[in-house]
Amino acid sequence: MKFTIAIIPGDGIGPEVTSQAKKALDAVAEAYDHIFLYKEAQIGATAIEATGSPLPKETIEICKNADAILFGAVGNEYYDNNPSAKVRPEQGLLRLRQELDLFCKIKPVKAYDNLIYNSPLKRDVIKGTDFVIFRELTGGIYFGDKEISKDEKSAYDKSFYTIDQIKRVAHLAFKAAQRRRNKITLVDKANVLATSRLWRKTIIEIAKEYPNVDVEFMFIDNAAMKMILNPKQFDVILTENLFGDIISDEASAIAGSIGLLASSSIGEKNALFEPIHGSFPKAKGKDIANPLASILSAAMLLKHLGLDEEADAIERAVEKSIALGITTKDIKRKTQTSTSTSKVGDFIADYI
Amino acid sequence: MKFTIAIIPGDGIGPEVTSQAKKALDAVAEAYDHIFLYKEAQIGATAIEATGSPLPKETIEICKNADAILFGAVGNEYYDNNPSAKVRPEQGLLRLRQELDLFCKIKPVKAYDNLIYNSPLKRDVIKGTDFVIFRELTGGIYFGDKEISKDEKSAYDKSFYTIDQIKRVAHLAFKAAQRRRNKITLVDKANVLATSRLWRKTIIEIAKEYPNVDVEFMFIDNAAMKMILNPKQFDVILTENLFGDIISDEASAIAGSIGLLASSSIGEKNALFEPIHGSFPKAKGKDIANPLASILSAAMLLKHLGLDEEADAIERAVEKSIALGITTKDIKRKTQTSTSTSKVGDFIADYI
Ligand SMILES: CC(C)[C@H](C(=O)O)[C@@H](O)C(=O)O
Ligand SMILES: CC(C)[C@H](C(=O)O)[C@@H](O)C(=O)O
């Protein structure tokens, strides 16, 4: 079959990890006789340097017309340390989410038995952990009005949600729960925020349509705690944009495999796949970044295209590389020597 | 010496733990020949039931006129599950913070050697952790406009900060860093939020007055991750209200001692001391809640009053109780039998 895949490598280690994912996709194309038409596009700091805009029009067009999008990372230190910069790399990603209406970011978190040694958590705390986070991605404080006042003496950000925004992501989460262990945890701060109370009300209503799903409410502060004390208790976590950002990254840390976690961002028409790690500017160009999260993003992308067997082939190759210790420094065992980004990519492609 | 201490037990396990702290204070009064005049006052759900208001005027008066305030906890499940309730227990605490202008909540997090076994984190990750969080407490999304629309179809919350609000808490944090390891981590989301960019700009300015303090910027999502992967890297964490709420609770979980952590909330004229744990409604009245956090809050309170030796006496008694295994279920070792809330309180008071 023939598919168009948009590739937007972005900043920092984005380019080097996505190019390993591309190797894996190439290997799949060859082994399973598909044609993948890659359309490369710019985003983030790289795009600002080249075009002045963090999200050139061309990138939006390429993404809209692709069957799926493989994304790297955005952000770099120059902008982080210059709070006055008007144009920022992250705006590229945020606008892309908005343009394509990618309203839900889905992130599975699973403690892999052969990576548990790498978790900062004790074995008995983390073992058996298996949950998925549904984060609303086009609302909340990310997209509300925001401004630093003219005199630069005050600033505000507005968080805003409509019931419809809440409903569509909630239905996805409830359906996922039905395919899993029938439990949803809504993470919010309903004891303080009006938007959280709207979430809670809406979820109480929607829950009636899914009588077999247990619904639990948890404040974000408490959830941040429980995530470490007892991550096994979660099945599907549903939450708003900002809380989802925080809890997702925290969740990534517990499994001992940040360099391995991928996410999908889903809209009605488009879908984007990316590693959960960031642009990690310090590792840029050093050939040391772990490419597995990007490679597994490509596997997720194939599943989205209906190519389940092909996705499995990638996942098996990743497992093999870990089992053989052909891994970058971040997940290697003490007794193993580390392998470079590109060599890990080569191994995976060969194995496929 | 003679001091007036306001005691506001609040909801859930609040009353039972604060009454153990009172026992400890009584013991101190006797041993060191002080007079503590207790003024008890209502707050939270308990106050709503009794007076209709989560923060009766009398409570504000009592707190304003006290030398220090010992606080229990607020919140209960009835309100959590009824997002439409207009009056809520937590409003009591939020208004009290506002009325007394308690602009900074300070929370020390330390891995105690003899409690490390109780941490969900591996020993080598947590050992040596010692940092303190400075959370701004009277601004941000907690106190901005918020509303569910009349048609109940949308809602918003506004986060708002002025430079002056940022400055006063920042100076406290920088001064603390100078007394510690000279490092500050500002936790924000400056790649998305305008308020965070104002924080970053302001901190960059203030840092010039403290040339010996290293300033580091970290996004909240990254901080939530680093907190688990490498908590030792932190010295002083400075952050806004909501991020402080989340990161504080997460931080409490790593040390294996939630039932032991206390915090102070500081204003120009008043100071409030409280356990970091919540009202834990499920344990209410069962005499199983860990009273140590409340007892250690009382120790913090004594230090605030200049009674350092007396505070040490409480801390020593707490350490003794842990060493002897006279502890509630949550921190007992597997081989120990647990002791009830009130018996732990009795032991501490006797030991003092
Ligand atoms: C880069 C940044 C704007 C983004 C976010 O906060 O959403 C990232 O942290 C993520 O989680 O995808
Ligand atoms: C009870 C609640 C309103 C409060 C807060 O969010 O500030 C609590 O979680 C805290 O951290 O003191």
Same structural domain for residues B200 and B322? no
Which of B213, B232, B258 is the endpoint of a domain? B258
Range of the domain at B151: 105-258
Same structural domain for residues B132 and B234? yes
Judging by DSSP bridges, how do beta strands B183-188 and B154-162 pair with one another? unpaired
B190 closest CB neighbour out of A83, A159, A226: A83
Beta strands in B137-269 (DSSP E): 146-148, 154-162, 183-188, 214-219, 236-239, 262-266
Angle between helices A220-229 and B241-254 (to 10 degrees): 20
Please state the rounded mean pLDDT for residues A207-215: 98
Same structural domain for residues A38 and A87? yes
Q: What one-letter code names the amino acid at A305? A: L
Q: How many helices (H) and strands (E) does chain A have?
A: 13, 12
Give the tokens for residue B122. Answer: 């591996």
Residue A146 lies inside a defined structural domain of this protein: yes
Residue A83 banded pLDDT, cuts 50, 70, 90 = confident
Provide, as residue numbers in chain A, all residues whose Cβ is less than 8 Å from the Cβ of B89: 191
Across-strand partners of A219?
A188
Q: Give the residue among A135, A157, A134, A156 at the shortest CA–CA distance from A144.
A: A157
Provide the number of structural domains found in chain B: 2
Q: Of the given ranges (A30-44, A68-82, B205-219), which has the lowest mean pLDDT?
A: A68-82
Q: Tell me how far the alpha carbon of residue B128 lies from the centroid of ligand 2, in angstroms.
A: 27
**Residues across chain B:** 352
Residue A287 lies inside a defined structural domain of this protein: yes
Q: Tell me how far the alpha carbon of residue A136 lies from the centroid of ligand 1, in angstroms.
A: 12
B229 closest CB neighbour out of A152, A221, A253: A253
Of chain A, the percentage scoring pLDDT greater than 90 comes to 87
* Ligand 2 pocket member B90 (CB < 6 A): yes
> Can you give the pLDDT at residue B190?
94
Same structural domain for residues A162 and A28? no
Q: What does the DSSP assignment read for B239-258?
A: E-HHHHHHHHHHHHHHTT-G
Residue A85 banded pLDDT, cuts 50, 70, 90 = confident
The pTM of the full predicted model, rounded to 2 decimals, is: 0.94
| A123 burial level (CB within 10 Å; 0-12, 13-18, 19+) | exposed
Same structural domain for residues B230 and B292? no
Q: Tell me how far the alpha carbon of residue A54 lies from the centroid of ligand 1, in angstroms.
A: 14
Q: Give the residue among A85, A238, A140, A166 at the shortest CA–CA distance from B159.
A: A140
Token pair 């052909």 in the structure block, residue: A326
Q: Are B167 and B202 in contact (CB under 8 A)?
A: yes
Using the predicted structure, report yes or no on whether residue A82 has a pLDDT greater than 90. no
Same structural domain for residues B216 and B184? yes
Query: Where is B96: in which H helix or E strand?
Result: helix B89-99
Q: Tell me how far the alpha carbon of residue A245 lies from the centroid of ligand 1, in angstroms.
A: 6
Using the predicted structure, report yes or no on whether residue A113 has a pLDDT greater than 90. no
Residue A184 lies inside a defined structural domain of this protein: yes
Residue A136 lies inside a defined structural domain of this protein: yes
Same structural domain for residues B347 and B287? yes
Same structural domain for residues B245 and B196? yes
Is the model more confident about B37 or about A116?
A: B37
Token pair 């065992």 in the structure block, residue: A333
**Torsion angles phi and psi, residue A77, rounded to 5:** -65, -30
Residue A261 lies inside a defined structural domain of this protein: no
Same structural domain for residues A247 and A110? yes
Per the annotation, the verdict on A245 as an active-site residue is yes
Residue A262 lies inside a defined structural domain of this protein: no
H-assigned helices in B208-291: 220-229, 241-254
Q: What one-letter code names the amino acid at A37? A: L
**Ligand 2: residue whose CA is nearest its atom 9:** B245
Residue A212 banded pLDDT, cuts 50, 70, 90 = very high
Residue A82's closest chain B neighbor by CA?
A: B201
Please state the rounded mean pLDDT for residues A173-178: 97
Give yes or no for B254 touching A (CB within 8 A). yes
Q: Are B71 and B272 in contact (CB under 8 A)?
A: yes
Provide, as residue numbers in chain A, all residues whose Cβ is less than 8 Å from the Cβ of B196: 83
Same structural domain for residues A111 and A182? yes
**Which CATH number do you get for residue A68?**
3.40.718.10
Of chain A, the percentage scoring pLDDT greater than 70 comes to 100
Please state the rounded mean pLDDT for residues A223-228: 96
Question: What are the pLDDT tens digits along chain B (352 aa)?
Answer: 999 999 999 999 999 999 999 999 999 999 999 999 999 999 999 999 999 999 999 999 999 999 999 999 999 888 888 878 889 999 999 999 999 999 999 999 988 887 888 899 999 999 999 999 999 999 999 999 999 999 999 999 999 999 999 999 999 999 999 999 999 999 999 999 999 999 999 999 999 999 999 999 999 999 999 999 999 999 999 999 999 999 999 999 998 778 889 999 999 999 999 999 889 989 999 999 999 999 999 999 999 999 999 999 999 999 999 889 999 998 888 788 899 999 999 999 999 9
Which of B192, B223, B258 is the endpoint of a domain? B258
Same structural domain for residues B131 and B228? yes
Provide, as residue numbers in chain B, all residues whose Cβ is less than 8 Å from the Cβ of A148: 194, 197-198
**Torsion angles phi and psi, residue B212, rounded to 5:** -85, 0
Measured from the Cα of A248, ligand 1's closest atom is: 11
Is there a contact between B201 and A83 if contact means CB atoms under 8 Å apart?
Answer: yes
B249 closest CB neighbour out of A192, A201, A225: A225
Mutation probe of ligand 1 site: the residue of B187, B189, B192, B196 with most atoms within 8 A of C-beta: B192
Is there a contact between A156 and B195 if contact means CB atoms under 8 Å apart?
Answer: yes
| CA pair distance A157, A191, nearest whole angstrom | 20
Average pLDDT score, chain A: 95
> Can you give the pLDDT at residue B256?
78
B194 closest CB neighbour out of A147, A193, A228: A147
Same structural domain for residues B217 and B174? yes
Q: Which residues contact A112 (CB under 8 A, 6 or more apart)?
A: A255, A257, A260, A322
At residue B193, the 3 state secondary structure works out as: coil
Q: What is the CA radius of gyration of chain B?
A: 20
Q: Mind telling me how many Å the CA of A340 is from chain B's nearest CA?
A: 23
Cα atoms in the Cβ-side hemisphere of radius 13 Å centred on A300: 26
Residue A349 lies inside a defined structural domain of this protein: yes
Measured from the Cα of B90, ligand 2's closest atom is: 3
Residues of B designated as active site:
142, 189, 221, 245, 249
> Can you give the pLDDT at residue A112?
81
> Can you give the pLDDT at residue B245?
97
Q: How many CB atoms lie within 10 A of CB A89?
A: 28
A26, A101, A249, A287: which is the annotated catalytic residue? A249
**Residues across chain A:** 352
Q: Mutation target for B interface from A121, A164, A191: give the one with most B CBs within 10 A.
A: A191
Give yes or no for B195 touching A (CB within 8 A). yes
Distances, alpha carbon A291 to alpha carbons A44, B136, B183, in Å: 20, 39, 33
Residue A85's closest chain B neighbor by CA?
A: B197
Which of A222, A256, A290 is the endpoint of a domain? A256
Is there a contact between B155 and A144 if contact means CB atoms under 8 Å apart?
Answer: no
Q: Of the given ranges (A78-82, A268-272, B60-64, B182-186), which has the lowest mean pLDDT?
A: A78-82
Give the tokens for residue B279. Answer: 């009202």
